[in-house]
Amino acid sequence: MLFFRHKKDIIEIEKLKNKIDSDKLPVHIAIIMDGNGRWAKKRRLPRNIGHKEGAEAIRNVVLFANEIGIKHLTVYAFSTENWNRPKDEVDGLMKLLTEFLDKFNKEFGDKNIRIRHIGEPSALSPEIQEKIRTVQEKTRGNTGLSFNVALNYGGRLEIVQAVKKIIKEVNNGKIREEDIDENLISQYTFTKDIPDPDLIIRTSGECRLSNFMLWQSAYSEYLFDQVLWPDFKEEHLIEAISEFQNRKRRYGGI
C-alpha cells in the first residue's frame, strides 16, 4: 500500500512527479473505475475478488492524488443501474463499502482528506447511510483532497431530481422562471458545491460515460485507458495528468 513505501518506491514516485507541471494540475479528476470483473475473470477468480482488489487501488490513488495536490477526486463506485447485478455481487460491493467507511479515519485520518457522498442515499441500507453521515461529518473540516464517492449515482437521475426541485421552487414562488439558467441548475445537482471535472478517466478500454456526470462533463477532457482498474497505479494517474496538460482546452473557441 502506498503509505508503506520502501525507499526505492519513494524515489520512483518522485521521478513520476517530475513528469507533470504542479502549477497546471487539473482541479477535479473523476474516474470511472471499470474492469474489476474482467481482472478477476482473467485470473479465474470470483468477481468480488476483483472488486476487493479494486478497493485497494482506490486507496492508493486517493493517497497519491492528495499527495500531489489534486483538490477534488470523484470515483464512480456504484451506479443506479448496478442494482441489476447478481445479488451476491451487490452484497459483496456493499460489504466492501462498509469496510472502507469503517477504516477511513484509521487509514486517512492524518492525511487531511475530506470524504463526501454524491448520489441518492435513500436506496442504501440505514447502516450505510449512517456510516456515510458519520465519516462526512468527521472529515468536513479537512482542507486537503475532497474525495467524492459517487454511490447510487446516475447522471439522468441527478438531472431529473434537479428539474423536479426547480419546478417545486417555481411553484412556491421562490424562483422566477426567467432566473433559470445553467448556474441555477447546477445548484440543484448532487455536486452543487464541487467544480466540474477537468479530466474524466475511464479504465478497461471502454469508451463511454455510462450515465456518469452527464451535466458536469460538458467541457471535461476524456481519457480512456486500457488498464483494468485493479491494476491502475500512480504511474497511470501521472500519465493521464501529463496527457491532460498537453491538451488545449478551447471551451467552444478556436
**Which residue numbers are catalytic?**
34, 82
State the burial class of residue 41 (Cβ atoms within 10 Å of its Cβ: 0-12, 13-18, 19+).
Answer: middle
Say which DSSP state 96 is in. Answer: H
Distance CA 225, CA 238 (A): 12
Q: Return the residue matching grid coordinates 462498509.
A: 98
Among 210, 241, 209, 240, which Cα is nearest to 225's? 240
Task: Write the CA distances from 139 to 132, 133, 134, 145, 148, integer angstroms.
Answer: 11, 10, 9, 11, 12
